[in-house]
Structure 1
Amino acid sequence: MSIQNNKAIIKELAAAYEKENKSRNRILVLAITISIFLLYSSFSIASGKIQADYLLDVRGMGTIATVSLENGSSRQYEKMKSLPYLKAVGIKQIAARGTVQDSWSGSLIFLDQDAYEKIMRPAYTDVEGEYPQKENEIMMSERCLTQLGIQNPQLGMDIFMDVEFRNGVKEEKPFQISGYYKDYTDSVVGELEAFISKAFLEKNGISMFPASKILAVHEDLQTGEQIEQELYRALEMEYDAQQVIGENPMVMQSVRGMFGSIAIAAICGCIVVLCAYMVIYNVISISFGRDVRQYGLLKALGTTNQQLRNIMYRQNLKILVKGVLVGGISGGIFVKLFLSKILSKLFMRGFGTCDVSGFYPVYLLAAVLLVCIVCYCSTAMALRWVKRRNAIEAMRYIEADGNFNLRQTEALDKLTLSRLAWRNISRSKKRLCLTALSLILGCFTAMGSVVIMRGTDTTHALMEEPDFQMGILTGIFRYPEKVPEEIDDNTPVIPERTVDAIQKMEGIKKDTVIFTKGSYAMINFDEDPALLPRKESLDNDVMDMSFATLQIVDRAFIERLESYVQEYNLPVDIESLKDGTGTVLIHHHELSQALEEKAAESIGLPIHFYSLGANQQKDVEKYLKGGLSCAGYLDMTDEYFPDLQTTSLGNKINYFIMSREAFSSLGFQEKYFDLSFDAEEQEEPFVHQKLMQIIQKENQSNESMDTLYLNANSDVLKEKQEEIQTANLILGVLSATIFFVGMMNYFNTILTSLVGRTKEFAVLEGIGLTRIQLWKMLLLEGVYYWLILVGAMVTVGSALLWALGILIKKKLLYFQFIYPWRAMLCMALLLLLVCVVLSVFMYRKSKEQSITERLKRYID
């Protein structure tokens, strides 16, 4: 009978084949559901974690700016606005300094519209009112208003403020509150600010340019170093010391904190997508032979290619819709509930409400699209095979190199069950390879996620720090008026009695004690050309004679520094540092590109160091202690700069490192700046208490040069414990999701293979295989898959996991590779359990019908 354009019959045939392939279709629906759940959940959770980290960073920094140009001109401003890789450019102008009695003191800042709306405003929450427009309007944070005693601010409230302009003029000015907001910056680190209007600038004759800073936000894929180089090429600097400061985009920092680098994150994303693809492809490819024979039968009945296509796609569309709905709904509910609960907990730590959405329609749409493409291509593959061959070939299609059939029954008695089981899984080498690859990929992804989760735990970074660190808060720069009358070359920084008391304390691991030693000195900017780059970086706003910190570094550090200098080809004379004739000036990213070039040219020039007695003296030569050659300038903020325990070091501090031999040649008395050490775990509370007593006693005695501080790593861990637990929970759920999908991939693969071979099982029983033997054979087949999978994971998988760890370690220095033995063992046991469960399932199913009924059903 021929079928000609009969839609009713096509619909009926599609329904009939759906009923016939009911078990296979259920597994395919499950595979589609799992794939969509995997894709949507994994990408949504990772994206939610990255967005949450981004918000925390933005609110902690008080801005989303990643670029700043100091003292920017109008010409530079216009040029920056025209650059395509800068997404927002704005002006920040410090107009004056405001003071309200003894309650509040801070800078009065003007922001243009882009600077406020696009760069600063995203870091604030609970914004009320508008940015100041009138001369007497002001906008302040709730924290600043609280310091003024205003607990419930109202728009229009009056504030009287003493204003000191940059030219030294002081006036008392009345302001009205035009707006207020909640900020989350650390007031100890950042200076307090209040926003004023453009009218205020105009009224007081303050020019917009040169702007204190031109702020900008650059593209997320460029690093801070890359954007600095781009802007140095694009802009003409107004003077040599004018500096562009670029930072890594906060999204990039979040990705790096989670994966190590954007490239590794992209690779992980591709592997997850490939896993989802293989989950579906496995089910369809295993049932490929059966589909071809069914379509061949329809072709023999006279079905046209177009009608075949309609039948196939009608059948698969229904399966696809079911899988998409179940996967999309389950994934959406899971992600929405999980992210909302977890991220709200994260943001309860004082960073405001969570603005991260728990629903990501783009990821859901992408997951559905990918699944549809996989199903379409897999179905089209079978249809294309049928279209290229006649109906008889299609009906007799066997997807194997040596399929077991009735003609081979005489060989059955020669095969052991183990050999028969192996021949069953290896009869199609192509399918075996694809199935094994899919299973290995799924398990590797699960294990890889565990490695990333455990390795990127920020606890590792904190545990690398010593248990205790103590030293001085600021140093000699805080007390210039006391030099040299009260503080001279012989004044100790940390008294030796304090160091002795700490070293004799019970519970301290003596071999972990590290000292920061050196001395303070004076340098002469006016006499030493080698110091000119440094002087220019300080805007020339320094005295000719300035304070300097000299730190002794050991041979081990010099060797690490040598490797760093050689690897990045930095202009440093490491030999003079090693032989005790040179010194390196380290800074906090304070040199412009032009000054870096000048610094390189200063290598080899002498730097003279003077006694503290030279402070405020005219004849300084008699205070000269000695000189060293300039071995170069190094930026200590560089990501790969070797770890170095320093004393107070920051902007505008002149800091020199040198060998012990070089220090000794200068004749300064060696002093203790800082020290760190570990303590026995059980003794740590006792040590903490004793250290607090010692430091309190020293600070009260006023015999030390400066106030002593104590940092206990256990306190930092406690403070960050909730944040760490939340981050680990998010990554843990992501790992568990991927692990679950890997397990389900294995389950689906084995089950699809078994369901599609019911005819074969009936034939084997018909020629004498008992049901117990059938069960053993199926169990052995599962065990063979299990052995292939576990063997590949222990060998190739372990090597790949180790390589993944090395890649992440290069980008994330605190990353620790921890082999996932427990997860691997758990996975192996669960996979073995799946083998047993599925073989028992097929054994029980075979008992539901007699051999005769099953053979009659499958008779050719």
Structure 2
Amino acid sequence: MNIVNKLTVRHLKENKRRTLVTIIGVIISVAMVMAVATLGVSFMDLLQRQSIATDGEWHVQYENVDSNQIEAIESDKSTKTLILANDVGYAKLDEPQNESKPYLFIKEYNEQGFKNFPIEISEGRLPQEDNEIVLSEEVAGNAKLKHGIGDQITLNVGKRLMEGVERPFSQKDPLQTDVEGASESLENENTRTYTIVGKIKRPTWEPAWAPGYTAISYVDQSLMNSKDTVDAVVVLDKVKRSLYKHAETLAKQNNIENVTFNDELLRYYGVTDNDNLLQTMLLLTGIIMSVIIIGSVALIYNAFAISVSERSRHLGMLASVGATKRQKQTSVFFEGAIIGLISIPLGVLAGFAGIAATFMFINSFIEGALGGTEKLQVVVTPLSVLVACGISIITIFISSYMPARKASKISAIDAIRQTQDIKLSGKTVKTSKLIRKLFGIEAEIGLKNLKRNKRRYQVTVFSLVISIILFLSVSYFTSNLEKSVELSQQNINYDIQISGNSVEKEDLEPFTNLKNVTNASIINELMLNTYVDDDAIPDGLEKNLYQDESLLKDGKYQYNAVLHGLDEQSFNEYAKKVGMDAEKLQDPEKPAGILIENVSYMDPETSKIKETKSLNARIGESIELYSMNYETEEVKLINNVEIGALTDELPMGVSRSGAGGLDFIVSEETMNGLIDKEVQKDVRTSLYMNSSDSMATQEAIEEGKRSDLYVYNVFQNRQRDKQMILFMSVFTYGFISLISLISIANIFNTISTSISLRKREFAMLKSIGMTPKGFNKMMNYESIFYGMKAILYGIPISIAIMFLMYLSFRNTFVYGFTLPWMSLLFVIIAIFIIVGSAMFYSIKKLEKNNIVDTLKQENV
């Protein structure tokens, strides 16, 4: 090590405070990039594993392929694993206790399928030959099936068909019934004999309303003849966007008619065939990573730049004893290298440790809240480590190069005196007389200090601005990400629905008292029409409405209007929830309802999911309701309903209408008063309920229900939606918390460093008679100046970045741009609190310093 480098190391040791602060700044920066990258990768990994645990691991499915086509798929270079699957069909159970599940549904897999799909053996083993079968353990409790493991069972297997329906029904279709019972039948039956070799738990991919209990057999590819067909399910070697085109090309070359993709799992790999969604993902990733990288760069640069004058003086001393320009530059780069070698590894470890600790804290919550089978795991990729290290190295180089270049151009005596750092004139530190008049001499001195130390002042303000931008940008990004997830989900807010063709309220009321039912609501629904003026249709919605000129009435366009009549208790609770008095909405002389304000729909032209107002309407406006006889096309005015309130809150069991639809929530009594006996027959009554044990509740319902009742247990679908929103919430608040902590650390680091470097300045002020009270007052005003300047720059820049993100989201999801007022208010308050706290903390550390010793001190 040459003498210049030895002096550099000694200088770092002598200036422990500045060296430590610089190292901490770089560690925080590296940790931020590392933590953000790790958080994103780990979150996507969780979603991938959860999707695989629920629906199995597969990417592409080629339907109804023969042995030659299977060979072509298996030999394809992109195929990593080939799974053979086959839906054999349905077989009737003898005397089923559950009338809604009268079948066995037989599905076949090869050995690889048993590994890739979630099949859990509860007893026995999996099939190994095509004449072996495993049954769902629920069959024994719901049908008179006396066969056990080792017994043979003979089944007549066929397809579920119904007159007037061309395609056979699948497991996703419930049992088709009418008042006389089942309206479907099994056809194309053939006899199969199996040996029962085990029992399985009910598969997660079996819908709750499926009419058949799952039974799984084995498909043996070696026994297939030229006419046999199965589904070829493929796990790809590499998941990339070209897989869509490649799969379709492969199917076309081998005359395969149908190809489907596991869109949910592929989306979690960041792969989609939706160009709008892909563009949205790329733009948002680019914007948010740019903000984070700029924040990271600013952190490191601030850590170096705030003490430029100290380094310049040290370099001037080197020049005075003969150091060349090259040696001075090498000295600064060597200092940067030492800082980097210490800080970067620690930053990577700190980012990793921070995410690991966060995941340990929230994993128990995720598992306990919704019974998720998968936990968050820390996933570190080489790319995330390289990006974090690369950004830090480049930034340290730039941060070192600028002062080195500056110092190499000035003379040794100027560098030692630091005359180049402070060039004052009366104009430079001039302040308004109004400042002293309003706030006193302390405020004026504080403002002059900021102007005199303009470099440090700008660096501190810049650091605050970056913190504001980081917090607001990430907050807006994550909240809009969560909103996009909600728009794309089904928004099911109930567990079980019971409905039928001729169902009365009295038929459904007994089910509300069943064990485990936590909430229930009986809703009468009636589909009517209304006609609206052209100017009442929200902008952008006209082209998505079906405009039939024959349905025009006095120049108005037809809308669907759905009345949702809630029972008295449910309506009172709902009205209270939306801030309305239920009694005011139930005036017989002036019937009123609550209008669902927004609708969401997919634009068929752009494939964008849009959210807009259902109607340009005002509270108190009256809407005419019409019924239509579709045979005679006669339109009849039924009544008028007043808009008593506008809300986006949905009661349990109600889903939003699409474009051209209105949803009115009214009480059952109001609904009966609005309609006459002629349209009463068109009212459809349904029961919606939530349950602490949905499967047990479904079984209790089916024990005593009528044959013409439909029971839809959508608990699994709802669970999946809630899991996704929960995961997004964890990601959202985890992300925001991380950025907030980093921003606070950055502000404390910058301000405390700035205050520490001004120790001699403060000692001089105290030496000429400034009292502790006056000193604190001056520092308070400085805090206000910092905060106001940071907010003045930070909020407009943040709003501009938010709008760019909004434009990116509009490629897939279209809704209005709204500012996050609560986040803006929080930032304004938080900035002043954090700046004030940082000032207070820094000043408290200086109170014990002796004035004379501080004035003599050279190193900080």
Distance 1:461 1:15, change over 3 A: same
Cα offset, 1:738, TM superposition: 0.9
Report Cα offsets for 1:110-139 as digits up to 9, x if no partner: 44576665xx34x56789999755444446
Amino acid at match of 2:630: F
Q: Where do residues 730-741 of structure 1 align in structure 2 (5 Å cutoff)?
A: 730-741=731-742
In structure 2, the CA distance between the partners of 1:15 and 1:219, relative to structure 1 (3 Å rule), is: closer
The Cα shift of 1:327 comes to: 4.5
Say which is worse superposed, 832-841 or 13-22, in terms of deviation.
Answer: 832-841
1:641 and 1:111 mapped to 2: Cα distance? 40
CA 1:109–1:724: 2 relative to 1, 3 Å: closer
Query: Do structure 1's residue 16 and structure 2's residue 16 form an aligned pair?
Result: no
2:306–2:456: 8 Å Cα contact kept in structure 1?
yes
1:663 aligns with 2:630: yes
Shift of the 825–559 alpha-carbon distance from structure 1 to 2, 3 Å rule, reads closer
What is the SS of the residue equivalent to 2:311? helix
Quickly say closer, same or farther: Cα 1:473–1:809, change in 2 above 3 A.
Answer: farther
**Which residue number in structure 2 is paired with residue 160 of structure 1?**
153
TM-score, normalisation: structure 1 = 0.62
Preserved CA contact (<8 Å) 1:448 1:801: yes
Residue 444, structure 1, aligned to residue 469, structure 2: yes
1:63 matches 2:50:
no
Does the 8 Å contact 2:30/2:388 carry over to 1?
A: yes
How far apart are 1:788 and its partner, in Å? 1.5
Q: In structure 1, which of residues 15, 21, 25 is the aligned counterpart of residue 19 of structure 2?
A: 25
Comparing 786-795 and 418-427, the one that deviates more: 418-427
Task: Kindly tell me the number of residue pairs found equivalent between the two proteins.
Answer: 693
Offset of residue 264 of structure 1: 1.8
Distance 2:240 2:138 in 1: 35
Structure 2 distance, partners of 1:24, 1:826, is: 32
TM-score normalised by the chain length of structure 2: 0.62
Aligned positions of 1:212-611 closer than 5 A: 212=231, 215=234, 222=241, 232=248, 235-236=251-252, 242-246=257-261, 248-250=263-265, 252=267, 261=281, 263-303=283-323, 312=332, 315-316=335-336, 319-320=339-340, 323-324=343-344, 327-348=347-368, 353-354=373-374, 356-358=376-378, 360=380, 362=382, 363=384, 366-387=387-408, 391-392=412-413, 394-395=415-416, 400=421, 402-403=423-424, 418-426=443-451, 435-454=460-479, 515-516=526-527
Seen in structure 2, the aligned counterparts of structure 1 residues 643 and 451 have a Cα distance that, compared at 3 Å, is: closer
More helix by share: 1
Q: Which residue of 2 aligns with 1:640?
A: 609
Specify the SS of the correspondent of 1:169: strand
In structure 1, the partner of 2:836 is 836
Q: CA deviation at 1:170?
A: 0.6
**Which ranges in structure 1 are unaligned for 5 or more consecutive residues?**
476-492, 500-511, 518-551, 581-632, 646-658, 684-689
Residue 358 and residue 773 in structure 1: after superposition, are their counterparts in 2 closer, same or farther (change >3 A)?
same
Shift of 1:354: 2.3
**Shift in Å, 1:102:** 6.3
Question: What's the CA shift string for 1:755-806, capped at 9, x where partnerless?
Answer: 2333444555567766655544443333222001223344443454455456
Aligned counterparts, 1:687-706, within 5 A: 706=708
Task: String of CA shifts for 1:396-433, please: whole Å, max 9, x gaps.
Answer: 5556573589x999999999654554454456878766
- Alpha-carbon separation, structure 2, partners of 1:377 and 1:59: 47
Aligned residues of 2:82 and 2:112 also touching (Cα < 8 A): yes
Structure 1 residues 811 and 637, CA gap change in structure 2 (3 angstroms):
closer
Contact 1:289 1:399 in 2 (8 A): no
Question: Kindly tell me: are residues 668 and 777 of structure 1, through their superposed partners in 2, closer, same or farther at Cα, counting changes over 3 Å?
Answer: closer
**1:248 maps to amino acid:** D
Q: Equivalent residue for 2:709? A: 707
Cα distance in 2 for partners of 1:411, 1:817 equals 38
- 1:101 is displaced (CA, Å) by 5.7
Could you tell me how far apart the structure 2 residues matched to 1:693 and 1:183 are? 25
| Residues 274, 220 of structure 1: alpha-carbon distance in 2 compared, 3 angstrom cutoff | farther
Distance 1:34 1:693, change over 3 A: closer
- The question of 1:54 aligning with 2:32 is answered no
What letter corresponds to residue 25 of structure 2 in structure 1?
A
In the alignment, the residues of structure 2 paired with residue 693 and residue 32 of structure 1 have an alpha-carbon distance, to the nearest angstrom, of 56
Let me know the Cα RMSD of the aligned residues. 6.1
Task: Name the CA shift for 1:449/1:368 in 2 (closer, same or farther; >3 Å).
Answer: same
Distance 1:251 1:736, change over 3 A: farther
Contact 1:141 1:181 in 2 (8 A): yes
Query: 2:753 aligns to what?
Result: 752
Residues 10-159 of structure 1 mapped to structure 2, 5 A cutoff: 10-11=5-6, 13-60=7-54, 62-72=55-65, 90-95=83-88, 105-111=103-109, 120-121=116-117, 123=118, 133-138=128-133
Deviations 1:458-514 (A, max 9, x none): 796699979899997587xxxxxxxxxxxxxxxxx5679999xxxxxxxxxxxx986
Contact 2:133 2:195 (8 Å CA) reproduced: no
Letter in 2 for 1:236: K
**CA distance in structure 1 between the aligned counterparts of 2:781 and 2:419, rounded to whole angstroms:** 23
Task: Give the whole-Å Cα distance in 2 for the aligned partners of 1:18 and 1:64.
Answer: 55
Indicate if the aligned counterparts of 1:33 and 1:324 stay in contact, CA closer than 8 A: yes
**Aligned-pair CA distance for 1:83:** 7.3
Query: Secondary structure, in 3 states, of the residue corresponding to 2:526?
Result: strand
Q: How far apart, CA to CA, are the structure 1 residues paired with 2:195 and 2:73?
A: 36
Task: Provide, for residues 167-202 of structure 1, a one-character-per-residue CA deviation record: whole Å limited to 9, x for no partner.
Answer: 64313232545x968842244256655554443x65
C-alpha distance 80-435 of structure 1, shift in aligned 2 (>3 A) = farther
1:630 corresponds in structure 2 to none
Q: Distance in 2 between matches of 1:642 and 1:409?
A: 53
Inter-partner Cα distance in structure 1 for 2:16 and 2:479? 42
| CA deviation after TM superposition for structure 1 residue 443, in Å | 1.5
> Residue 230 of structure 2 corresponds to which residue in structure 1?
211
Task: Report the structure, 1 or 2, having the larger strand content.
Answer: 2
Alignment partners' CA distance in 1, 2:605 and 2:123: 41
Q: Identity, % of aligned pairs? A: 15
**Is the 1:220–1:252 Cα contact (8 Å) retained in structure 2?**
no
**CA–CA distance in structure 2, aligned partners of residues 30 and 853 of structure 1:** 27
Judged with a 3 Å threshold, the aligned counterparts in structure 2 of structure 1 residues 386 and 261 are, in CA distance, closer, same or farther, namely same
Q: How does 1:618-629 map to 2 (within 5 A)?
A: none
**Structure 2 gaps, min length 5:** 97-101, 160-187, 509-522, 554-601, 615-625, 639-652, 656-662, 671-684, 690-696
Between the aligned partners of 1:124 and 1:733, the Cα distance in structure 2 is 33
Question: Which SS does the other structure have where 2:820 is aligned?
Answer: coil
The answer to whether the Cα contact below 8 Å between 2:46 and 2:377 also exists between their aligned partners in 1 is no
Inter-CA distance 18–181: structure 2 relative to 1 (3 Å threshold): farther
Any conservation in 1 of the 2:320–2:412 contact (CA below 8 Å)? Answer: yes
